[in-house]
Chains A and B, each alone.
Chain A
């Protein structure tokens, strides 16, 4: 018995170590954001809100925040719409070339962001659309659609395969069925997709950096500060970004959990 207990203890401590590694930088950033030292080390310096005050009074940060938020909202709406259309098409139809169609929807995350950034920059400036307010939105929609598609597709897989036909059978047209059955059923996934794609867009820096031009987002500001020298402002911005993203992720997660209760399909 002691042998199994030892192995069990080994695995538990190992898992904890991995989690410490994953959480350490996030936690450190949070702690350093309230630390007075410019070069934080142990022992820690004094508690301060200095770094938050600095960014609060920085106009560039506010401008970037505005661009980040408006882009994230637009991206989440467009990407979720496209993701929904694609997920529904996959749920409902079989057609020639469907695997190519799905590859189109799901492949973007496998292309390195630097390459996506360069390709976007090259193409958008070729057609005169780079450096505009909408450049980031266009590029982020490409990156976020796969997430939206996956989330909504998983939800649709839980719908009884005859549900649509049952609605037609009861006198609902295809469009009416979409409004009465498919959209209400997918709603938790749609909202959670809105949150998650907004979070992805809000954090993305590489492609934004290439295509943004003067319309810098918060991550692009961080990247540029990082290129200078050590500056604990980043921790303050980072903590703020973290809290924003986490709020979105937690909302999304709660909504996805609803599938375990109400709305389960009955086979």
Chain B
């Protein structure tokens, strides 16, 4: 296992009676951008804090660079972190904040200044070097926090929801700053977030956690197209989950009988399914085509429109099929102009067989 930097082995963390993390095993590779994602209280921040030594695992092992870290003090780890609240030191100015880690490692005043200035330049905030933290904007503070963490040239950087306090525009900007930095430095980033868009936009691999356990590990694409279970399918959002039972099975094609009618879907290779078995079909909202006339397609269903939601140029339509089953469909703003749409309109949804995904049990 030469290329793994961090290894979690059966890590358990209890806070009193509460199980924050249970039987957590994970390998994080060198130079990888890993996102840990999940709803609040799922144990993702605790996992990160254990890696930084701020919380001790109740049982299990955490290794960094092949060395067992369980009893190493946080100050002796070199696992710098960017905090959700940033935790910049309010009585120190920008450059003193950035120099802090170097000062603790005994660098001389001159070296500290040079290294810190290099990082301020790299993050384009050198003009604020002698400002007070309170005089900076949110985005500038973010960069100070990054510079402060990276100035000691660590092998790994931990990020705990660092962008949650920024507005949408800045989030996008900082995402590109982070991905560029990670690529240029070629170090490991472990990024904890509850935001799917942040995780999927930046990470090489995403770990999804719920109630202290790993639900799925994979590339953003894998998770997006093939969620491992119903929790993930729902958590990722904008997915249509259709329950039904298998009506027919021919080679690689399954026909699923649901309340809204029969649908066809490709059979997953790993699962052996029997006719009559109950299962869930996932269809992502953005693979659905919406039309006014019944199209020629693999799967077609007639629905009536309930409502719409506009975010940027994407429109999400909320529809209801017979049997009370709800569907979501995402289409481009300009496409919607060609449709005659008002509440209650009858529309046809369709998607190719290959776009459906069967959830494993």
| A154-186 interface code vs B (CB 8 A; 1 in, 0 out) | 000001111101111111111010001100110
Specify which chain A residues have a CB less than 8 angstroms from the CB of B80 in the assembled complex.
Answer: 169-170
Identify the interface centre among B85, B105, B152: most chain A CB within 10 Å of its CB. B85
Which residues 109-138 of B sit at the A interface, judged by CB distance below 8 A? 132-134
**Are B90's CB and A170's CB within 8 A?**
no
Q: Which residues of A contact B83 (CB under 8 A)?
A: 162, 166
Given contacts A165-B54, A266-B85, contact A170 B91 (CB under 8 A): no
- Does residue A213 face the partner (Cβ distance < 8 Å to B)? no
Q: Please give me the residue from chain B that is nearest to A158 by CB atom.
A: B90
A166 to B49, CA, bound (A): 11
Q: Does B73 contact A (CB under 8 A)?
A: yes
B310 contacts chain A at the CB level, 8 A cutoff: no
In the complex, the chain A residue whose C-beta lies closest to that of B78 is: A171
Q: How far is the CB of A259 from chain B (nearest CB, A)?
A: 10
Contact of B52 among A161, A169, A172, A267 (CB under 8 A): A169
Chain A contact residues (Cβ within 8 angstroms of B): what range?
20 to 34
**Contact residues in B for A15 (Cβ distance below 8 Å):** none
Q: How far is the CA of A170 from the CA of B113 in the complex (A)?
A: 17
Interface residues of B in 142-199 (CB under 8 A from A): 148-149, 152
In the complex, whether B81 has a CB less than 8 A from a CB of chain A is: yes
B interface, over-half SS: loop
On whether the beta carbons of A267 and B85 are closer than 8 Å, the reply is yes
Report yes or no: A171 in contact with B104, Cβ–Cβ below 8 A: yes
Check if A263 is an interface residue, CB within 8 A of chain B. Answer: yes
Is A57 part of the contact surface with B, judged by Cβ < 8 Å?
no
A247 CB-CB contact with B under 8 Å: no
CB closest residue in chain B, given A174: B75
Tell me the nearest residue of chain A to B88, going by C-beta: A266
Q: How far is the CA of A160 from the CA of B88 in the complex (A)?
A: 8
Do B87 and A264 have beta carbons less than 8 Å apart? no
Q: Does B267 contact A (CB under 8 A)?
A: no
A177 (CB) vs chain B CBs: closest residue: B75
CB atoms of B54 and A170 under 8 A apart: no
Q: How far is the CB of B29 from chain A (nearest CB, A)?
A: 22
Complexed CA–CA distance, A162 and B77 (Å): 17
Interface residues of B in 50-87 (CB under 8 A from A): 52-54, 73-81, 83-87
Is B141's CB within 8 Å of the partner chain A? yes
Interface residue? B235 (CB, 8 A): no
CA distance A267 to B73 in the complex (A): 26
Counting CB contacts under 8 A, is A59 at the interface? no
Q: Is A262 an interface residue (CB 8 A)?
A: yes
Contacts of B104 on A, CB cut-off 8 Å?
Answer: 167, 170-172, 176, 180
Residue of A nearest to B105 (CB): A171
Q: For the complex, what is the distance from the CA of A258 to the CA of B330, rounded to whole Å?
A: 53
Nearest CB of A to B47, in Å: 15
B74 / chain A contacts, CB cutoff of 8 Å: 165, 168-169
Given contacts A165-B54, A171-B101, list 7 more A-B pairs with CB under 8 A: A167-B100, A169-B80, A170-B149, A171-B75, A172-B75, A262-B134, A266-B85
User: Which B positions have Cβ atoms within 8 angstroms of A?
Assistant: 52-54, 73-81, 83-91, 100-101, 103-105, 132-134, 141, 148-149, 152
User: Could you pull out 6 A-B pairs where Cβ atoms are within 8 angstroms?
Assistant: A162-B83, A166-B83, A166-B89, A167-B100, A172-B75, A262-B91
Q: Which positions in A face B, CB cutoff 8 Å?
A: 159-163, 165-174, 176, 180-181, 184-185, 262-267
